[in-house]
Amino acid sequence: MSAAELARLARAEERILELAAGLGLSFLPQEFDVVSEQKMLEIMAYRLPVNFSHWSFGRDFEIERTRHEHGYAVPYEVVFNSDPVRAYLMESNPYPIQVLVMAHVYAHNDFMKNNRHFQHSRRDMIGLASEAASRFRQYEQDYGREQVERIIDAGFSLQWDLDPEEPMHRESERGTRERLFGWARESPPEGSFSDLLPTPAPVSTERKRELRLKTPPAPTLDLLGYIIEHSPRPLAAWEKDILGVIKSQALYFLPYRRTKIMNEGWATYWHERIMQRLFQEGFLSSEEHGFYNLYNARVKAHLPRQLNPYLLGFALFKDLKQRWDKGRHGAAYEELEEQRQREAWDLASGQGTAKLFEVRRTYMDWFFLEEFLSRELMEELELYLFLEKDQGAHYDTVVEETDWRTVKRLLVRSLMNSGVPRVRVVDGNYRDSLQLYLAHEFEGLPLQEDYCLRTLQHIHQLWKRPVLLESRQQEGERMQRKLFIADGSGVRVNLD
Amino acid sequence: MAILKPDYDSSPRGAADAARHREKIRDAIRANLPEIIGEEAIITREGRRLVRVPVRGLKSYHFIHSDGLEGGFGSGQGKKGSVIGQRSKEGRPGQAGDQPGIDYLDTEIELEALIQMMLQDLGLPNLKEKQARETLVPQGWKYESVEKSGIRPRLDKLRSLKEAIKRTEVLVGELVRQSGKGEEECRDALERARGSLPEALRLLREGELREGSAGEPRAAEAPPRRIFLDSPDLRFRTIQQDVETHSNAVVLAMMDVSGSMGLQQKYLARSFFFWMVSFLRTLYRQVEIRFIAHTTEARVVDEEEFFHKGESGGTYCHAAYELAARLVAAEYPTDRWNVYPFHFSDGEDWAVERTLQAVRALLDQGVAALGYGEIQSEYSSSTLLESLRSGLELELRRSEGFAWYEGRYRDIPLLGLVIRGKEDLYPALRAFLKPEKQPSGVK
């Protein structure tokens, strides 16, 4: 990229910032790095600009490269919730795409600065990952590449089994015990309403003894964290470090996973407005604007076998603005039966923009769709559920369900806990013999057995003592209890 | 705000980890060879060097939900029940109950690499071509050597001139030695004597060289020295037929195509033949495969008919062996071809004694090895394998849970197998490829 091109981009960036601020967005400091295609693909595959080595990143790198070479390329954007927010521009992209990416990134920046789920992230993650990468290289030299790889394999298999609330209120094990004992409440805080606070029920001595010894004191979703601290194997310091890095990176990416549709929708919603203004002000020639339109259409394209978060999120925010501008919400509107009446409804309440910013501050995808994905919007987008049907020689992708209620119910369910089954550590000293007892909370779907067994193998590799996982599945009318076991002799499933 | 162009470390980390990933894929393939070689996609591949194979174990495993169904959400035009796409099943196991796309990652590998892996796994990394019987194949004519006599058309002018130069120089040297005159003078004398040594010597002795000749002003460029070509200098080429040693093999694939051989049985036979030919290709420069289908009669058919058409009727296995013997006599003489007859049937044979005779007759022609595979199905009533065992004195062998018969007939390796399903393919191939199964020497 020549100096003149860089200067032109810098002028566009300056204007984007002004326009975005004028639209009500607010930002953390923003930096863009211009990088080669190779580096861009690496950042996407490795999740962070510099990260440790692992074959799965290599696999993803190859997938990204193949996609790129086959021209599936949409304008790549990578942006990190760091301070300053760091984003990447691929050097080979034409000017209008660079401008589009910058406008898009500024809206992401606003989202990450203001959405509550991003508030507890480590904003120094880029540097932490780079440091971890050099430590891991040393571990490879000291303990062998295979050994390091095995630990990373195991860590990755548990990376999404997190307590999403952990960064918001970390509680030590001791703190948990005290809370459960109710000791914290024995002397109620001084205050005018202290008499209204519930008096803690007295805890029996027996229960106290149990609570004092029980590990963990209360079931925890933080599998990796619990294993790092309590594994009887025991884990070496370098192994704990590797697992800890994997956990902290997963926690860092969790808000992205929980707000994918919102975040991309938000960025797309605003980049369209900003790009329109830039065109009007002459920052883009009409030829460049045409080029932008083409790419923008690709960004928002319908995908037959995948929900496009850019499209869905964009449509939701656009709809939200319109509905709150016209007052199309609340019981009076919802109870209207007739389509004509609904369409004619306009209270001119003008609350749209305010609602957008309110939703952006507090929601995540699960609640966002649950609350705002309307029947009208679903039918406009023609959302459907498809199944892969075995046709002998091949699979047909068949539209199975288009009824909005059913599709919405299933779609929202798939976003619950970012689609990760909730598995908790119940007992780290099961049968008083340091066996690890896990329990899966049944939320309507059973665990996939093969994946479950392989994941348990990884846990057993870290825990060394037998690992048990209790789950349930619907078996006709009744619920069947299922016990997955991993020990020295392998893995198996016992049914009740 | 800032747009920067930083200098990033450009070491190709992605490429290095991608290589590690591919290495792991190869390990996974190696670990699953017995399953992979039964893959329909490999066997039915048409001429492609790359084959797609499914590999287990390279996914990242997590706790995930199972809804028992494979699907997802999409948007855009889609009426209920409409088909919006298709996905090929290629490279995935066809057994019922396999969830598509969940457990397998398809990868491509060169067939050659796959075969090398199998050979290594079977402990036969260096099958040597020299073990095979070799044949001479004419490649036209070539010059062989140079002789002093021959016919004019094969006169080798260059070689003849070289000889003449050599001889002239010897003569000049001799003149200098005998006459004691200078080299130039001797050369002139030889020239005047037209190459004759005694005449030149005489001229030198008699001093008949013209006085002036030595003093004659020589041109700045000396004239080319004369060379005297005489009949002893002539050299002639001989020619000879050019032959190359080749090792050729032909697989005579014989199969019972009567009603009791179902598609699954034929598929097993096809898989075995496919790998047998693939292995023999690493051993021989040229491998042919001929297909003989039989019921009560035998016919030479093409591959398509061999594996896909079924007939009804009874079974005379001898018909196939007799046809094979005629084919060998007419087209694949065993002094030039390594012949591998291999017969698959479900074991039913209405005239076992005659089959045994036909087998012996084929063996007497000197084939490289002979094999029989019985593909057991619920309908089969095995008589043939038992008769071959007793008639040819085969012995039972066992290795790694697989049992087979083997023996020798005048040093020709014999093999008798039972194949029940895909899982038997790999051990069957191992039995076929065991080093002592190879032809015992170069003939």
pLDDT tens digits along B172-225:
888 888 888 888 888 888 888 888 888 888 888 877 555 444 444 444 555 666
* Nearest chain B alpha carbon to A406: B73
* Nearest chain B alpha carbon to A15: B1
According to the model, what pLDDT value does residue A260 have? 95
The reply to whether residue B4 touches residue A54, judged by beta carbons under 8 angstroms, is no
The reply to whether residue B102 touches residue A65, judged by beta carbons under 8 angstroms, is no
**pLDDT > 70: what percent of chain B?**
77
| Most confident stretch, B106-115, B134-143, B374-383, B391-400 | B391-400
Q: Which helix (H) or strand (E) holds B292?
A: strand B286-294
According to the model, what pLDDT value does residue B139 have? 67
According to the model, what pLDDT value does residue B282 have? 77
pLDDT band at B104 (very low <50, low <70, confident <90, very high): very low
Torsion of CA A58, A62, A64, A66, to 10 degrees: 180
The reply to whether residue A55 touches residue B64, judged by beta carbons under 8 angstroms, is no
Mean pLDDT for the stretch of residues B315-328: 91
Gap from A250 CA to chain B (nearest CA, Å): 13
According to the model, what pLDDT value does residue B262 have? 76
Q: Which residues of A touch B263 (CB under 8 A)?
A: none
According to the model, what pLDDT value does residue B46 have? 60
pLDDT band at B312 (very low <50, low <70, confident <90, very high): confident
Q: Is beta strand B338-345 parallel, antiparallel or unpaired with respect to B248-256?
A: parallel
Count CB neighbours of B293 within 10 A. Answer: 25
Nearest CB partner across the interface for A307, out of B9, B71, B75: B75
Q: Which of A79, A88, A105, A388 to mutate to test the interface with B (most CBs of B within 10 A)?
A: A388
* Nearest chain A alpha carbon to B3: A32
Nearest CB partner across the interface for A41, out of B14, B60, B69: B14
* Nearest chain B alpha carbon to A441: B65
Gap from B347 CA to chain A (nearest CA, Å): 31
Gap from B282 CA to chain A (nearest CA, Å): 32
Which CATH fold would you assign to the domain B123-131+247-437?
Rossmann fold (3.40.50)
DSSP code for A123: T
Is A428 near chain B, with CB under 8 Å? no
Interior angle at CA A372, CA A370 and CA A377, nearest 5: 110
Scanning A180-219 for CB atoms below 8 A from B yields none
Gap from B358 CA to chain A (nearest CA, Å): 41
The reply to whether residue A30 touches residue B1, judged by beta carbons under 8 angstroms, is yes
According to the model, what pLDDT value does residue B440 have? 41
Nearest CB partner across the interface for A399, out of B9, B16, B81: B81
Buried b / exposed e along A76-91 (16+ C-beta atoms within 10 A):
bbbbbbbeebbbbbbe
* Nearest chain A alpha carbon to B23: A55
| Most confident stretch, B63-77, B328-342, B420-434 | B328-342
pLDDT for residue B126 is more than 60 = no
Q: What residues of chain A score a pLDDT lower than 50?
A: 184-185
Gap from A452 CA to chain B (nearest CA, Å): 5
Is A157 near chain B, with CB under 8 Å? yes
According to the model, what pLDDT value does residue A65 have? 80
Cα gap B199→A123, rounded to integer Å:
111
Q: Which of A377, A386, A411 to mutate to test the interface with B (most CBs of B within 10 A)?
A: A386
pLDDT for residue B231 is more than 90 = no
Does residue B376 or residue B163 have the better pLDDT? B163
Average pLDDT, chain B: 77
How are strands ordered across the β-sheet holding A85-90? A78-80, A85-90, A30-35, B2-4
Scanning A56-75 for CB atoms below 8 A from B yields 56-59, 61-62, 65
Gap from A281 CA to chain B (nearest CA, Å): 21
The reply to whether residue A58 touches residue B66, judged by beta carbons under 8 angstroms, is no
Contacts across the A-B interface (CB distance below 8 Å): 222
Mean pLDDT for the stretch of residues B320-332: 92
The reply to whether residue A402 touches residue B80, judged by beta carbons under 8 angstroms, is yes
Q: What sign does the dihedral B388-B389-B395-B400 (CA atoms) show?
A: positive
Q: Where are the alpha helices (DSSP H) in B284-351?
A: 303-308, 317-331
Is A390 near chain B, with CB under 8 Å? yes
The reply to whether residue A31 touches residue B102, judged by beta carbons under 8 angstroms, is no
| Lowest mean per-residue pLDDT among A142-151, B118-127, B255-264 | B118-127
Q: What sign does the dihedral B194-B196-B201-B206 (CA atoms) show?
A: negative
DSSP code for A389: E
Q: Among candidates A396, A392, A493, A414, which has minimal Cα distance to A452?
A: A493
* Nearest chain A alpha carbon to B17: A58
* Nearest chain B alpha carbon to A99: B3
Cα gap A313→A310, rounded to integer Å:
5
Nearest CB partner across the interface for B75, out of A38, A39, A303: A303
Is A337 near chain B, with CB under 8 Å? no
Length of chain B: 443
Nearest CB partner across the interface for A397, out of B1, B85, B103: B85
With beta carbons less than 8 A apart as the criterion, state whether A51 and A57 touch. Answer: yes
pLDDT band at B103 (very low <50, low <70, confident <90, very high): very low
Gap from B129 CA to chain A (nearest CA, Å): 38
According to the model, what pLDDT value does residue B96 have? 27
Q: Which helix (H) or strand (E) holds B191?
A: helix B183-192
Q: Which residues of A touch B7 (CB under 8 A)?
A: none
Q: Which residues of B touch A89 (CB under 8 A)?
A: 3
Q: Which of A11, A37, A59 to mutate to test the interface with B (most CBs of B within 10 A)?
A: A59
Cα gap B150→B142, rounded to integer Å:
16
Gap from A9 CA to chain B (nearest CA, Å): 8
| Lowest mean per-residue pLDDT among A21-25, A115-119, B99-103, B118-122 | B99-103
Nearest CB partner across the interface for A34, out of B4, B81, B86: B4
Q: Is beta strand A490-495 parallel, antiparallel or unpaired with respect to A478-487?
A: antiparallel
According to the model, what pLDDT value does residue A189 have? 54
According to the model, what pLDDT value does residue A262 have? 97
Scanning A3-22 for CB atoms below 8 A from B yields 6, 9-10, 13-14, 17
Say how far residue A378 (Cα) sits from the centre of its chain: 23
Q: Where are chain B's structural domains?
A: 24-31+49-57+103-121, 123-131+247-437, 145-218+225-239
**Structure ipTM:** 0.86
* Nearest chain B alpha carbon to A398: B83
